[in-house]
């Protein structure tokens, strides 16, 4: 039997979202990239000029912010549409400013608690592919399948730079690499729900795989062809 709940974790730009989205379409499951929830809260804090260091204010924001994640509403390469209080912020949440601030925001226990409640409500319905950084360890530790997706920092920085350039952002490779390494450090060492592989997760290293090879391997895993 194919797994009903699939948890996919890993560092930024590791390919986990690409794999998750592909599997959701392959299986006809719901897709939820949970990172967009944290990015939406971060974007809203910046937009409202709330200091990223103000944990209490950002926690209150997370508790009350109305965030919608729905299938794509525009044919511009997006995997979903993210709205905050009715405003489409799908690409706004991918800016370098949000990249630089999202890890501190996502480390706040109150923010994680608020968004984790939402994630579990979705996961309880089954037939879902959920992608993030603590899905298999905290959000749905009883998921039917857990993948921990990794790639070298250098390869991840190259991928992120290309993604940003595709959307008209002129950013230096060294800056992207430094931001990713900084985020890895914060995510892996935060006190609440640090980034790590669940003991029963399948380690999926795609550093040297093409996109096609990566997706084929993911399909084989959910079909039980590869262990």
Residue 226 falls inside a structural domain: no
Residue 129 falls inside a structural domain: yes
| pLDDT value, residue 227 | 58
| pLDDT value, residue 190 | 83
Residue 227 falls inside a structural domain: no
Contact 42, 180 (CB under 8 A): no
Note if the pTM is more than 0.75: yes
Q: Tokens for 95?
A: 């800016």
Cβ-defined contacts of 206-211 (< 8 Å, 24+) = 206/14, 206/15, 206/149, 206/150, 206/151, 207/150, 207/151, 207/152, 207/155, 211/18
| pLDDT value, residue 155 | 97
| pLDDT value, residue 69 | 86
Q: Identify the CA nearest to 192 among candidates 145, 117, 137.
A: 137
Residue 27 falls inside a structural domain: yes
Residue 121 falls inside a structural domain: yes
Query: How many structural domains does the chain have?
Result: 1
Distance CA 179, CA 99 (A): 8
| pLDDT value, residue 215 | 97
| pLDDT value, residue 77 | 86
Query: What is the residue range of 112's domain?
Result: 5-220
Q: Which residues of the chain have pLDDT under 70?
A: 227
Give the list of residues 6+ apart from residue 150 with CB closer than 8 angstroms, or none: 10, 11, 14, 203, 204, 205, 206, 207
Give the list of residues 6+ apart from residue 210 with CB closer than 8 angstroms, or none: none
CATH number at residue 139: 3.40.50.300
Distance CA 142, CA 123 (A): 10
């Amino acid at each position: 039997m194919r797994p009903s709940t699939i948890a996919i974790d890993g560092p930024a730009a590791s390919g986990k979202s690409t794999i998750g989205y592909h599997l959701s379409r392959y299986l006809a499951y719901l897709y939820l990239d949970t990172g967009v929830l944290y990015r939406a809260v971060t974007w809203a804090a910046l937009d409202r000029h709330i200091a990223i260091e103000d944990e209490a204010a950002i926690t209150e924001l997370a508790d009350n912010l109305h965030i919608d994640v729905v299938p794509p509403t525009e044919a511009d390469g997006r995997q979903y549409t993210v709205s905050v209080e009715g405003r489409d912020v799908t690409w706004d949440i991918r800016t370098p400013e949000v990249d630089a601030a999202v890890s501190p925001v996502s480390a706040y226990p109150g923010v994680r608690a608020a968004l984790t409640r939402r994630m579990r409500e979705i996961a309880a319905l089954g037939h879902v592919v959920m992608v993030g950084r603590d899905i298999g360890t905290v959000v749905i530790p009883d998921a039917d399948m857990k993948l921990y997706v990794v790639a070298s920092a250098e390869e991840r920085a190259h991928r992120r730079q290309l993604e940003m350039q595709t959307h008209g952002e002129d950013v230096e490779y060294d800056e992207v690499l430094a931001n990713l390494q900084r985020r890895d450090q914060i995510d892996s060492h935060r006190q609440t729900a640090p980034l790590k592989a669940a003991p029963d997760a399948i380690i999926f290293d795609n550093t040297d795989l093409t996109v096609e090879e990566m997706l084929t391997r993911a399909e084989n895993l959910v079909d039980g062809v590869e262990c």
